[in-house]
Amino acid sequence: MKTLTGLSEPILNLDGEVLREINGKEITVGSIIANSLARGSSEEPVRAMDVAIKIHNANGDIELEDADFALAERAVKEDRLINNMAKAAALSALNGQPGP
Over residues 7-43, the pLDDT tens digits come to 999 999 999 999 999 999 999 999 999 999 999 888 8
Q: 59 in a domain, yes or no?
A: yes
Domain residues for the domain of 50 are 2-94
Q: 99 in a domain, yes or no?
A: no
Q: How many domains does the chain have?
A: 1
Over residues 43-80, the pLDDT tens digits come to 889 999 999 999 999 988 899 999 999 999 999 999 99
Question: Please, which residues have CB within 8 angstroms of residue 92's CB and are 6 or more apart in sequence?
Answer: 6, 98, 99, 100
Query: Could you tell me the maximum CA-CA distance found in the chain, to the nearest angstrom?
Result: 38
> How does strand 62-64 pair with strand 2-4?
antiparallel
Q: 86 in a domain, yes or no?
A: yes
pTM above 0.85, yes or no: yes
3-state secondary structure of 4: strand
Single-letter amino acid code for the residue at 46: V
Q: 24 in a domain, yes or no?
A: yes
Q: 32 in a domain, yes or no?
A: yes
CB distance 33 to 94 below 8 Å: yes
